[in-house]
Amino acid sequence: MEKDLSNMEKALGVTFQNIDTLRQALVHRSYLNEHTSFPLDHNERLEFLGDAVLELVVTEYLYLNYPNPEGEMTNWRAALVNGQQLANIAAKLFVEDFLYMSRGERKDRDSKARRYILANAMEAIIGAMYLDRGWDVAKEFVTRAVLSLLPEILEKKLYIDPKSRFQESAQEHTGITPTYRVHSEEGPDHEKVFTVGVYLEKERVAEGVGTSKQEAQVDAAEKAIEAKGW
């Protein structure tokens, strides 16, 4: 089934010379299992290309505009190009509406799996732009969609992981070091879900959920920062 991608082009602000290059960027591997006669390949090769283009655009921008040490710029870049950030950008551009996915993937709205698919599609779209329209067009898009997030990342120190951020803020505001406690473990070993609380002494500030204790702690720390307005 061919989708009209003109609205996708409008959202991206890029007109493709060969619309099938963009279409391929939107094909998840699962779709081809159900549609064996579909004329295009899945998007993983474009994702590989787009990842490199994205990293180079961001790296070049940071190098040319900031005199900071390599370690700091590496953290900033990671905050700009990580999967969560790319999935957020994809969501703002309504990429999910245009994805070619199997019926099973379409129904499975598990946020973690869906974010992963969206992030990969975003990289594939950047790869498609580079292939179809060249470096300047891809660079302009990345500058507009990704690098525009840098001021907020620097201002809110989002390049520091949430646990470290909450610890710094808690010590600054209260002089207390946060502690984490597992509240529950549910599910079979291969699909465990952990619920973890983060505390400032006896005060439970927030709860987080994740498929590992570490993931649940990070989720709890993010919610604690929000709850405290730090």
The continuous run of DSSP H or E covering 74 comes out as helix 70-81
Q: Is residue 219 a contact partner of residue 163, using CB atoms and an 8 Å limit?
A: no
Q: Is 4 buried (19+), middle (13-18) or exposed (0-12) by CB count in 10 A?
A: exposed
Clarify whether 136 is annotated catalytic: no
Task: State the amino acid at position 142 in one-letter form.
Answer: V
From the candidates 2, 4, 44, 51, give the one annotated as an active-site residue.
51
Q: Are 53 and 142 in contact (CB under 8 A)?
A: yes
Smallest CA-to-CA distance from 123 within 186, 212, 49 is with: 49
* Selected catalytic residue, list 105, 123, 132, 222: 123
Catalytic residue flag (residue 51): yes
User: Up-side HSE of residue 123: CA atoms within 13 Å toward CB?
Assistant: 26
**Residue 93 amino acid letter:** L
Residue 47 assigned to a binding site: yes
Report the catalytic residues. 51, 123
Known binding-site residues for Mg(2+) equal 47, 120, 123
